[in-house]
Amino acid sequence: MAASRSRRTLLPVRGSAGRGSMPSGNGQSEFDGESAHPPEEDVDPPTADAPLPANGAVGEMVGGEGADALTIYLRQVRRTELFTPAEEYQTACAARAGDFAARQSMIEHNLRLVVNIAKGYLGRGVPLSDLIEEGNLGLMHAITKFEPERGFRFSTYATWWIRQSVERAVMTQARAIRLPVHVVRELQQVLKARRTLEGDAEFVAHRPDGVRVEDIAALLGRDVQAVADLLALSEAPRSLDAGDSRGDEGFTLADTVASEDEQGSPTDVAHTREVERLLDQWVHALDAREREVLEGRYGLHDREPETLEVLSVRLGLTRERVRQIQNEALAKMRRQLARSGVGRDALF
């Protein structure tokens, strides 16, 4: 189970009392307010009667601790008979009318669908047990939203919600350093564009040195620096305890990283102090109100940074006026920077 999340147990199937517990509530918290019908897309839903993993393969999927519990769970799911179309319609109607037993039955008879969908996301850094748990939450949400009178099979409708839950888990749990979901989606677009270019024989023939950031940015119509920043996020993080790549015994990567307490070379120290002196001089050359806004916004001269709202109240101005003063002051600072010949890199 992922250590970063509170531990949940897999949903029990009928006859497995004592081996698991149903999560409290209806699992709708992260879906509240969404449309009752997912966006239409080309979905080829896994069938609920697709073969489940053999017991011997479960250990490889989850690895180590928890394999036995998952093996038992999969065995129980495999034994649950599937609904006929008529049974599914009757049970779904009863569940929609508020029959709790019918809702439970809908869950139990569709757990196999969740497992089959979750299997498709193996190898992405999230254990199968966690994928199933998240898929079960999507299943419960689908049951709440399902309208059987529309005439669709439940598995077709539920597949979208289950995949949404599983994909969200992959996005948020698979990385050692968590990225926001919207950033992960942007990164996936960039990586897909790179794969597209790498698979284009004509492009590869004209670019033997490989795909460049500029090529991806041009294909997506995005800023080159933004694409470069996203690609940097795709690099796997390395532990500071890992061995030194140079092969020196007894040394780790941490030994090659400079301490924040180190002063640096005398030249670097002198250069830093000169830049600080120039910045201080430029700030004092601003008029009083511009200086007050910059010092407040950026916490200069040992002040605590302040929000636009706080500054607007303190100065008796609107938030927009404070923002305008800030931008005017920054423009003056940039002109001073250009005249002095100090590079932007020296400020960071």
pTM over 0.85? The answer is no
Q: Quote the CA–CA distance of 322 and 345 in Å, as a whole number.
A: 27
pLDDT above 70 coverage of the chain, percent:
64
Residue for token pair 């933004």: 226
C-alpha radius of gyration, the chain, whole number: 29
- Which of 1.10.10, 3.30.70, 1.10.287, 1.20.120 would CATH assign to domain 1-177? 1.20.120
Query: Which H or E element spans position 335?
Result: helix 319-340
Say which CATH architecture domain 266-347 belongs to: Orthogonal Bundle (1.10)
Q: Is pLDDT above 80 for 323? A: yes
pLDDT digits 0-9 by tens, 266-309: 556 555 677 677 778 888 888 999 989 988 888 887 778 888 88
Q: Quote the CA–CA distance of 36 and 66 in Å, as a whole number.
A: 35
Phi, psi of 252 (to 5 degrees): -115, 175
Q: What residues does each domain of the chain span?
A: 1-177, 181-233, 266-347
Average pLDDT, the chain: 75
Q: Taking residues 260-268, report their average pLDDT.
A: 54
pLDDT of residue 93: 95
Q: Quote the CA–CA distance of 185 and 190 in Å, as a whole number.
A: 9
Whether 1-177 and 266-347 share one fold: the answer is no
